[in-house]
Structure 1
Amino acid sequence: MNATHPHAPAADGAACCHAKPKVEAPAEAHCASKAAAPPASAHHAHHAHHGHAGHGGGSMFGLTTSATIHCLTGCAIGEFIGLAIGVSLGLNPWATMALATALGFVSGYTLGLWPLVKQGMSWGAAFRTLWLGETISIAVMEFAMNFTDYHVGGVTAGSIFAPQFWIGYLLALPAGFVAAWPVNWWLLKRSIKQPCH
């Protein structure tokens, strides 16, 4: 507890640099310092993230775009693996999309959790810190991606070497981004989702 700031929160490895310095540092240095902070409880991590979007971390447009790209990267990995397995095994479209969605959640969560775990949090504490925002974001993104892929015909392609498979997947990516962007904006505005990991 800081003597000059009696209400200052404890340092938190997952707090994404929420402790305010005496002199405001640039956003890059601000977020880069988070790795040096010692880990604390998931409860402190959760509250430390509240209000991040509103205090010098960049514009809401930039934060939302960054968070959406981060989510899309995680989803795209699992989505591709699931689609490739489903199409290669000749599964029906619904089974293929279910597999792609499940793996999209796995890879999406993992990409969000891993930086927190590297900072010293347990997997469980990290999951409790970000599960709600990530779940909503990933769910919207996966729905849009699978909806697009299904209607383009990528999930019914004969093989992963068919142009239809790649066209469906490549159109699904921007569809997922466009669908999830406004959702992530709302999640960040309401401090439900973390703007940086």
Structure 2
Amino acid sequence: MRHQTHTGHEHHGAHGTGGKVTWSMAAQATLHCLTGCAIGEVLGMVIGTAFGWGNVPTMVLAIALAFFFGYALTLRGILRAGVDFKTAFRVALAADTLSIAVMELIDNGVIVLWPNAMDAHLSDALFWGALAVSLAIAFVVTTPVNRWMIGRGKGHAVVHQYH
């Protein structure tokens, strides 16, 4: 997924400097975060299941991979803009850490609290249904966080100066 999918952002003024921050802008940033989180979550669950790991190590791996893929998607776009890796990595950390952390907290919290979801297998509808609902709830909760960050020139507002 390329950062160019954040269409519409460049037409709303400079983030954090008086430009209007729309819910659409926040939703686009959150969707970007959701993509990385979903890839990491599913891959972590698949790996943990394949190796017969328990819930805790599988969840730790899924969370680590969610951060990895979330940062990787941001890094990819920044590096394409010709930014050196060290700077790109710092920008990705600044842009995505809070967003991914909130998303993972909500997503995994829902899964933990959902009856029998932690014991569902990849072949169970409960696994996929609980994951879809937990990611949807995480999206709804994280979007206002991203809107707040963009409005203050943080989060994905930092990334857009490299486009």
Tell me the TM-score normalized by structure 1: 0.68
Distance in 2 of aligned mates of 1:176 and 1:134: 14
Q: Which residue pairs with 1:10 in the alignment?
A: none
1:114 counterpart (51, 67, 76): 76
Q: Which amino acid aligns with 1:52?
A: H
2:24 counterpart (39, 62, 68): 62
Distance in 1 of aligned mates of 2:16 and 2:50: 43
Distance in 1 of aligned mates of 2:68 and 2:44: 11
Q: Aligned-pair RMSD on alpha carbons?
A: 2.6
Note the C-alpha offset of 1:78: 0.6
Distance in 2 of aligned mates of 1:123 and 1:155: 37
1:93 aligns with 2:29: no
Q: Which amino acid aligns with 2:107?
A: M
CA contact (8 A) 1:117 1:123 kept: yes
- State the Cα deviation string for residues 69-118 of structure 1 (Å, max 9, x = none): 11111111011101222233332222111111000000000011101111
Answer with 1 or 2: which has the greater Rg.
Answer: 1
Note the C-alpha offset of 1:52: 2.2
Note the C-alpha offset of 1:133: 3.0
Note the C-alpha offset of 1:130: 3.2
* Structure showing the higher helix proportion among its residues: 2
1:167 aligns with 2:129: yes
Where in structure 1 are there 5+ consecutive unaligned residues?
1-15, 17-25, 32-49
Alignment: residue pair count: 152
1:156 aligns with 2:119: yes
> CA distance change for structure 1 residues 27 and 98 in 2, over 3 Å: closer, same or farther?
closer
Distance in 2 of aligned mates of 1:134 and 1:171: 22
Q: Which residue pairs with 1:76 in the alignment?
A: 38
1:143 aligns with 2:105: yes
1:187 counterpart (126, 149, 152): 149
CA contact (8 A) 1:154 1:167 kept: no
Tell me the TM-score normalized by structure 2: 0.81
